[in-house]
Structure 1
């Protein structure tokens, strides 16, 4: 029996570690779901006026209502939508109270005509956002074809001569066009903790089974 003690201890310790990791991921899941619920509540809160100096941390997802004049040029960011296909996010400068900021007006199918900017004021209800879409694999904008591949706020602001502030529209009073808002939501925020928890608990079960099988094999009498 003495030779079974070391494998048994090893099996119990391994199981405890794996179960502990699974429980930690369950705690992380509760924490992440609370954060997502807070963000979702913040997104749909009553809109406020555009802050004088929006902060990327404090004002992320802040609902705002802005009224101003849409200007040229427009930026087209290549995206795709399920059951619709390829299209563009249309981003334009908006002059509001002497300031120039950017507004993401939403999705426009590839084949649809892009609405032109006009002199009439437009009201945009949306959320401030600082999307993190640029990495080392993001292609350079094709300025000749007027196609961008990510929302790069500093670069877009320089191109459009605006503040590095983006309002992502939830609703506008633009005339009826093919443009459809793509509002901010939490779908792009990863929450993989449930999958990790299932993996760790699954490994714990396998560890227990394998430990039991090893102990059973070690207890079998040797023939011959």
Structure 2
């Protein structure tokens, strides 16, 4: 009899844990869906020019149109893009009409063209404000001598270019020279699949427990 009740207790605890994990993933699904909906709404809501004091929590992903001058001295950030392969993001200083200088992510440049001279001058940019989260503990320090950066690290890049620590990622430009890599939302949202997996395991566990209980009772 003790073994019988032991099976019931273990079975119930295991079922409760698996169901709780499935429910937690459904909560994560709701949270992630809300985050993605908020980003989509921001990207669809344009700013009326560059705010005097942009805030990441409020302004990230917001679209805007700016006119100014692309200046020389752009940084190169190592990247890759299918099917083009390895290349560089071009991060250039961009001077607005009011004198503010910010960074402009002009897009992709093939590896073979790394040291080519890109056109500078007056430009009309449509893009999005972004505070990229590219840097982690494994990111190497930039090779300043060769002008190769390994991530878009906003604060150090701004110091290198002498601009505000603000990055605008171009969707389109009137000035040619690079191929824009617009902001895209690549946040995975696999929580429904995880929830279904936990619930499937719960169903399997429940069926297995019923089987062992039935066998035990017959024995």
Q: TM-score, normalised by structure 2?
A: 0.90
Report the Cα distance in structure 2 between the residues aligned to 1:74 and 1:205, rounded to whole angstroms.
Answer: 57
2:41 is matched with which residue?
Answer: 41
1:1-224 matches, within 5 Å, as 3-96=3-96, 97-112=98-113, 114-119=116-121, 121-175=122-176, 177=177, 179-187=178-186, 189-221=187-219
* SS of residue paired to 1:58: helix
User: What's the offset of the Cα at 1:53?
Assistant: 1.1
| TM-align CA RMSD | 1.9
Report the Cα distance in structure 2 between the residues aligned to 1:78 and 1:53, rounded to whole angstroms.
Answer: 29
Contact 1:43–1:184 (CA under 8 A) maintained in structure 2:
no
With 71-80 and 192-201 compared, the bigger mean Cα shift is at: 192-201
Contact 2:93–2:102 (CA under 8 A) maintained in structure 1:
yes
* SS of residue paired to 1:111: helix
User: What's the offset of the Cα at 1:150?
Assistant: 0.2
Report the Cα distance in structure 1 between the residues aligned to 2:19 and 2:67, rounded to whole angstroms.
Answer: 54
Report the Cα distance in structure 2 between the residues aligned to 1:144 and 1:75, rounded to whole angstroms.
Answer: 11
User: What's the offset of the Cα at 1:185?
Assistant: 1.8
Report the Cα distance in structure 1 between the residues aligned to 2:131 and 2:172, rounded to whole angstroms.
Answer: 19
Contact 2:46–2:62 (CA under 8 A) maintained in structure 1:
no
**Structure 1 segments of 4 or more deviating over 6 A?**
none
User: What's the offset of the Cα at 1:169?
Assistant: 0.6
User: What's the offset of the Cα at 1:212?
Assistant: 2.8
In structure 2, stretches of 5+ residues that fail to align are none
> How many residues matched?
217
User: What's the offset of the Cα at 1:101?
Assistant: 0.3
User: What's the offset of the Cα at 1:16?
Assistant: 2.6
